[in-house]
Chain A
Amino acid sequence: MKKILFVEDESTLQKTFGEILKQEGYEMIPALDGEIGLRLAKTKKPDLILLDLILPKVHGFEVLKKLKEDNETKDIPVIVLTNLEGIGDVDKAIELGATTYLVKANYSLEEVIEKIKKALGE
């Protein structure tokens, strides 16, 4: 079973998404802030990371940067899933090594699942 780390501070979203990912046959590892996210990325070795940007403790961009600097985590694909859509945010995330940048408001659940499958090479 493939593991997906979901770094997101909204617990309601964790719940909805966890349900869907379970149905799709994935194991979801929840992380409610950037610090926990970084720790779990190293210890649990997920196959994919879904990363929000506005996070408590460590900002999403910082998490992304640290993930890509660490040899143990640098090859894990990261999908940024956020509502932040400022000038340069997308470019910055891609530059830091994100696989895809998705604005939550513009995507349906099914579309996000599709992107996850694509990133996992399924």
Chain B
Amino acid sequence: MNRRFIEQFNIPAQCKKYGLPLWQCPHFLFLVMGIIIIVSTLVAYAIGSRYVEDPQVVALIVLLVTAILFTIAVIITRSFERLAEANRMKSEFISIVSHQLRSPLSNLRWAIELLTSGRANGVSEKQLEYFKILKENSTRMRELVSDLLIVSRIETAKLPLKKKEISLEDLVRKIIEELEPFAKASNVKVEFGAKENLPKVFADPSQIRLVIENLLDNAIRYIKEKGRVEIKLEKIDKYCRFEIKDTGVGIPKEDQKYIFQKFFRSENVMRYQTQGSGLGLYIAKSIVEKSRGKIGFKSQEGIGSTFWFTLPC
């Protein structure tokens, strides 16, 4: 914390981080402006008290200082615009690249599907094995591209919420059912308990589905050999609360503060055994917060994690 606080004052390093020259860097310009305000106040006071009988000079000084401050303010605003523009271009770039990648990926996926579905003749067992590897990896690429598209939409505020009344309970049951084969293959038992008569929530079903899918997928994925996932639904005050507890590997304490960051993947024991883009929790957090809810977790390495989110209901 202390180091980060001190780092803020290392202005050349901060400017370098944004790739801006010193005279265009907001941090530097704010510092210059601060110094000018202090100095000009002192100078105006000193001159004013000495030449108080000549108000024209004081007026001229004030005018000059105002002009300087105005110019600096314009430069600062421009440099912020540049930063915002760079950020917008980055999101647009991600969006274009992801869209462009989708077409060849679909072609690839469908061609592989044709080969592995038994529709194409003359595919040997050995070849089939390799085609399956291709299939798995093309699915991974598709998921990554789809996650990137969602992120770019979140960042350009183009992720519209098509809100309607939904039953969280029904949605959770459906997702558990869909992920059942994955849970079974991973030796994980998924248990679900919902309080009776839970009211419906007003949210975008396809996006809340993404949140629950991500949380359940993570819970199953990070259980090492055999384990249990418990899902609970309840109402607390004006919020419906979804909670998912797993007996997985847990998140190391030093990684916990970064867990909702984009592309972050914890350095836990499963880091290299599991696949993932590090975007799922970032997406989940963005969606929940956009739906006026909250998200959080507690976790202990070697024991497991409990993730939760709330939605107004």
Contact = CB atoms under 8 A, between A and B. Distances in A.
B114 A87 contact: no
B49 interface: no
Contacts of B158: 87
A32 to B, nearest CB: 14
Given A16-B114, A20-B119, A83-B99, A104 B106 contact: yes
A15 B109 CA distance: 14
Given A83-B99, A109-B117, A10 B107 contact: yes
B113 A105 contact: no
B299 interface: no
A110 interface: yes
B192 interface: no
A23 interface: yes
B110 A17 contact: yes
A109 B119 CA distance: 11
A40 B24 CA distance: 59
User: What bracket does the count of chain A residues touching chain B fall in?
Assistant: 10 to 19
B113 A108 contact: yes
B102 A104 contact: yes
A13 interface: yes
Interface string A6-21: 0000101100110110
B105 interface: yes
Contacts of B109: 108
Nearest to A19: B114
B288 to A, nearest CB: 21
A19 B103 contact: no
B283 to A, nearest CB: 16
Interface string B92-120: 00000001001101110111011001011
Contacts of B149: 85
A17 B110 CA distance: 8
Contacts of A109: 110, 113-114, 117
Determine the interface band of chain B, counting residues with CB < 8 A from chain A: 20 to 34
Contacts of A16: 107, 110-111, 114
- Most interface-central of A13, A16, A20, A84 (chain B CB within 10 A): A16
Contact of A105 (B105, B114, B117, B120): B105
A20 B146 CA distance: 26
Interface string A37-57: 000000000000000000000
A51 to B, nearest CB: 15
Interface string A78-122: 000001110100000000000000001110111000000000000
A110 B105 CA distance: 17
Interface centre among B105, B106, B145 (most CB of A within 10 A): B106
Contacts of A108: 109-110, 113
Contacts of A19: 114, 119-120
B122 interface: no
Nearest to A54: B103
B106 A13 contact: yes
Nearest to B95: A86
Contacts of B209: none
B102 A105 contact: yes
B228 interface: no
Contacts of A20: 114, 119
Contact of A83 (B106, B111, B119): B106
Interface of B: 99, 102-103, 105-107, 109-111, 113-114, 117, 119-120, 142, 145-146, 149, 158, 160
Given A23-B119, A105-B106, 11 more contacts: A12-B111, A16-B111, A17-B110, A83-B102, A83-B103, A84-B99, A105-B142, A109-B113, A109-B114, A109-B117, A110-B117
24 contacts: A10-B103, A12-B107, A12-B111, A13-B106, A13-B107, A16-B107, A16-B111, A16-B114, A20-B114, A20-B119, A23-B119, A83-B102, A83-B103, A83-B106, A87-B160, A104-B102, A105-B105, A105-B106, A105-B142, A108-B109, A108-B110, A108-B113, A109-B110, A110-B113
